[in-house]
Structures are given as C-alpha cells and as structure tokens.
Amino acid sequence: MLLEEKRELVVRYGRMIQEEKLTTGTGGNLSVLEPSSGLMAISPSGIGYEKIVPKDVVIMSLDGVFPEEDHREPSSEWQLHSALYRHRPDVGAIVHCHSDYATAVSCLGIDLPPVNYMIAVAGDKVPLTPFAVYGTSDLAQSVVNSIGDSDAALMANHGQIALGKTIKAAFTVALNVEYVARLFILAKGAGDPVLLSRADILETRKRFKSYGQIRKDRGEGDHDASVG
C-alpha cells in the first residue's frame, strides 16, 4: 500500500484529535507529507475518525493528482494543506480542528495573545486569518497570507490550524493552542489578562529546545513541549 506508514499516522492522530475533544464528528482534517515524492497522505472527506482505516486515507500530489485509481474523496480542505506545504517547506504535517476555545477566540475577531508561556510552541501569538468559506482556494490563500512563520493560526469563525515537522509536533501545537485559548477565555471573563512580552516568548522558545531527555545519538531534546 502506497505510503502505508503515513496513512497509519493519519488514522492514529485522527482518533487522537477526537479523543482529546479537539473536534467533533467529521470536522477538521489532517495530513502528512512525503517530501521525497511530493505526495501527501490526507484524511478522507465525511468519514468519522473512529471509522477511518489506512486504505481510506487519500494519497495525492499537491496539485490534486491521485496516483491510485481507486481512492476516497480527500478532505474538502486539501487545497489548504497543499498551499501551506508549498508556503512552508519546513512543515511535514498539518492538523486542522474545530476545538471549542480556539474557535471561540476566532469568533472574537482577534489574534490569540500570549497569556501563557505555552503559546511559544506556536510563536509569540497565534494570528487570526480573515474568514473565507471552507474548502475554497480563498480560505487557503487567507491562511497562507496570515500565518507567517507561526506554527498555528486561528481561522476566523471556523477553528484552528497547527503545523509541525511531524504529525506529533503538529498535534502538540494544536493541543497547546487550545489550552492557551481556554486560559484566555477564562481570564478575559474575570478581567484584563496580563500578557507576556515577546522577549519572554523568545526565551521560552529557546528553553524548549533543550527541554526533556537529551538524545546523545542526535544531540537533540526529545520533547514535545506539552508540560512545564
């Protein structure tokens, strides 16, 4: 089966975004890129995550070409995934979900500000992208124009999108964006949140690089920045 490992990752993390209540029903989508071939494995359209099996995952090029004749319809947001992979060569996986608190902040028409240091997994803030109808090239362009070098964005009146070198990294970003969005909504309900400075976030990002158990074989921090 073509890109079998990538398919299995899409299945596994699709179930995880549902288990973590980052989305409901068939909402949201996720993909993993195979850089050497330029193909991506992307979740199928309209199938519940608990029902998806590896053969349901769609393999396609960023231009919308399908190397397999017998395939499911890809997520309606495949153009969004394609546009982001083209725009951000550092990205190897994408998670888009309709998590409650991130979506609530997106409905306020504002960026998600740095109310907690865990926002640093995405950047110094999570930018808001202007509204566009789902599944359109307009939405893809809106996100590309707004996300910059951040690893996440809020999609106005819609949800959030998270990027990473791996699907684990993108999933971790999505989890933490939802966590910070929840804190922001709670703090906003009690008063005016005190925001962290850009210098605070930059220092946090630097410390994340050495967080966790150091892998001697690669000299890299084996971490997912999910805890303090």
The residue from 68, 77, 178, 220 that is catalytic is: 77
At 149, the amino acid letter reads D
Beta bridge partners of 34: 39
**In the chain, what are the domains?**
4-212 (3.40.225.10)
φ, ψ (nearest 5 deg) of residue 59: -105, 125
pLDDT at 210: 81
The pTM (predicted TM-score) of the whole model is: 0.92
pLDDT at 141: 98
pLDDT at 212: 72
Contact 67, 139 (CB under 8 A): no
Q: Which residues of the chain have pLDDT under 50?
A: 216-223, 227-228
pLDDT at 221: 35
pLDDT at 101: 99
How many residues would you count in the chain?
A: 228
pLDDT at 220: 34
The Cα 64–Cα 54 span in angstroms is 20
φ, ψ (nearest 5 deg) of residue 46: 75, 20
Beta pairing class for 128-129 and 152-155: parallel
Tokens of 157: 């009146």
pLDDT at 1: 83
Contact 80, 143 (CB under 8 A): yes
The Cα 150–Cα 155 span in angstroms is 13
Per the annotation, the verdict on 77 as an active-site residue is yes
Q: What angle do CA 116, 117, 121 make, to 5 degrees?
A: 120
Beta bridge partners of 29: 96
